[in-house]
Amino acid sequence: MTRGNATNSKVFYKGNSEDFIVFVDDPQILESWRKDRSIALAHVVNGWKIFVTHKHGTQGILDGASKGLLETEFGTSDEDEIMKQILEKGEYQASTAREHNGDRDTRKGPTGVTR
């Protein structure tokens, strides 16, 4: 059974000192929100979390952004305002994780090994 091939939709924001990522549900909802702010942010974002990539662009290891880091980059630690800035000024990107075939029964050892 293949796993891990779902599409990830995210908004990438290149800051002065760090790179930030926010995951979104649907690019059409994001575009609608950019034109009409009456749409609730909860309908746009996929999980209320701001990630930092430690200046490794969109492919870096994602860690949760600390309040101090957000304060330094955005001048506030108010996550609502920061989310809005990232969604407004960031670049939408979609990626598909590569397929992953995992072992189902690890007691038998790795698959493909003959004994």
pLDDT of residue 28: 93
Does 43 or 99 have the greater pLDDT score?
Answer: 43
3-state secondary structure of 70: helix
pLDDT in tens, 5-46: 667 899 999 999 899 999 998 899 999 999 999 999 999 999
Mean per-residue pLDDT of the chain: 84
Within a domain: residue 109? no
Is 24 domain-assigned?
yes
pLDDT for residue 49? 94
Nearest to 90 by CA among 16, 33, 17, 15: 15
How many structural domains compose the chain? 1
Q: What is the mean pLDDT of residues 89-108?
A: 72
CATH code, domain carrying 59: 3.30.1250.10
Per-residue model confidence (pLDDT) at position 40: 92
- Tell me which residue range forms the domain holding 48: 9-94
β 91-96/100-101 pair status: unpaired
Read off the DSSP letter of residue 97: P
